[in-house]
Structure 1
């Protein structure tokens, strides 16, 4: 009787802990949402614009020159935090990086910061939703989940290269489809390389555009810097990655 009572008590404790654990699993994602709302309430998003860069370019350049170690480390951290909290400023921050540090070093800093922030958001989403679709969805959704898991690297690579889907969406979706962390990090790191260096290159030459915009009395936008040639290049890169995924799939079937 005593053994049965102990077993019953343990089972009840386990049942009581499960709802609590389910509630706590959403905490990281809730913190990110709260942080995003707090950032907007504090007006921090105004510092992640080309207008701020135009107003503060001389001061920022002077700060970078005076702090050759702290400046790149701080920038990388700011970039990671902005991505983790889903501020829509990845392209602008990459332009910042090229302007402040040059296209090569700035591009590398942007890649590191973006990968770090994306990984934090991915882990938060996986904690909240990991396995949810796989366990509860059926039919087409279940097949999509299985297909994404089988060829997640190729899918992610295409989504990262093509800048047509919001960056934060591509950070969250793989977590819902139960993609492995290693696959997510490697595909993100490789996939954002072309875009990071392209936008950093734009940033390296952005000074003249900012000065011209200020003289004309208008705001400058990312669209003023992105040429049709760069847009076509991104589309071509995404097409190449997609074709590679298709060829790989048919090759594996043939084997």
Structure 2
């Protein structure tokens, strides 16, 4: 009996299927960038705020589910409007619940795009880096040794785009459990700030203004966040010092 057909690898179909989720996400992201950026705005929120508040008051649970679903889609497909969605959470649900709903939706969306990238391109790229002998392998080894610290820094540093912090870890093979943990807790500080801005959004709209997202860079806000960044980086600093001293 000829078993040659069973021993012959068939990478084409499996490879295409593995890359399909990420390809779909990237395609939707590109389409969404050109078609939605003029619609998911604070002007749209201002024009529809009374209708949103009325719907929330009449269908609170449904509004919560709809909000989380929409925010999830925005993050999972890297669509424009994440900041608008975060502020809307505070506007509709207040600081505590708004932060909880924002963090839940953003975390689930981030985990979705991470898994999509990991199953496809990330799996292939991580394997190639692992079998290489160059700088990339050394960087990957250093990242794996300090995953929690690096992932927390990527979440806490405001200059790192959210979609980069979702995709890059998947492409270099970090553990999903570490990614999920640092995502949930790492986005809380920024989530609180954006939700807090949304709590006072009604008054801002009444003045004919848009919310000032530059609040994130105010010293009283960015200071504590940078302090958290220092705490996240401390384990790496301690390891580096111990290595130099031979401890």
Both proteins in one fold, TM over 0.5: yes
Q: Which residue is 2:25 aligned to?
A: 32
Q: Cα distance 1:58–1:251, how it changes in 2: closer, same or farther (>3 A)?
A: farther
From 4, 7, 11, the equivalent of 1:8 is 4
Q: CA deviation at 1:9?
A: 2.5
**Counterparts of 1:104-143 in structure 2 under 5 Å?**
104-137=96-129, 138-143=133-138
Q: How does 1:52-131 map to 2 (within 5 A)?
A: 52-131=44-123
Aligned partners of 1:124 and 1:116: how far apart in 2?
A: 12
Counterpart selection for 1:194 from 189, 194, 198:
189
Larger displacement relative to structure 2 (166-175 or 124-133): 124-133
Alpha-carbon offset, residue 190 of structure 1: 0.7
Indicate if the aligned counterparts of 2:89 and 2:195 stay in contact, CA closer than 8 A: yes
Partners of 2:48 and 2:223 in 1: CA distance: 32
Counterpart selection for 1:46 from 38, 46, 54: 38
Of 21, 33, 46, which aligns to 2:14?
Answer: 21
Gaps of 5+ in 2: none
Q: How far off its partner does 1:149 sit? A: 1.6
Cα drift, residue 247 of structure 1: 3.1
1:240 Cα deviation (Å)?
A: 2.8
2:144 pairs with 1:149: yes
Structure 1 residues 90 and 244: alpha-carbon distance in aligned structure 2, compared to 1, 3 A threshold: farther
Give the distance between the partners of 2:87 and 2:169, measured in 1 at CA. 27
Match of 2:170 among 144, 150, 175: 175
Counterpart CA distance in 1 for 2:217 and 2:123 is 41
Counterparts of 1:58 and 1:162, CA distance in 2: 35
TM-score, normalising length: structure 1: 0.85
Q: Which of the numbers 206, 228, 231 marks the counterpart of 1:240?
A: 231
Instruction: Tell me which residue corresponds to 1:217.
Output: none
Do the aligned partners of residues 21 and 236 (structure 1) sit closer, same or farther apart at CA in structure 2, a change above 3 Å counting? same
Q: How many residue pairs were aligned?
A: 242
DSSP 3-state at the match of 2:69: helix
Q: Hey, what's the Cα distance between the residues in 2 that align with 1:40 and 1:131?
A: 27
Return the index of the structure with the highest Cα Rg.
Answer: 1
TM-score after normalising by structure 2: 0.88
Query: Is the Cα–Cα contact under 8 Å of residues 162 and 237 in structure 1 kept in the other structure?
Result: no
Q: Unaligned 5+ residue runs, structure 1?
A: 215-219
1: distance between equivalents of 2:223 and 2:37? 29
Look up the SS of the partner of 1:93 in the other structure. helix
Q: Please say if residues 72 and 106 of structure 2, whose CA atoms lie closer than 8 Å, have aligned partners that are also in contact.
A: yes
Deviation at 1:227, TM superposition (A): 5.3
Query: Matched residues in 2 for 1:93 and 1:227: separation?
Result: 19
Measured at CA, do residues 69 and 11 of structure 1 come closer, stay the same or move farther in structure 2, by a change above 3 Å?
same
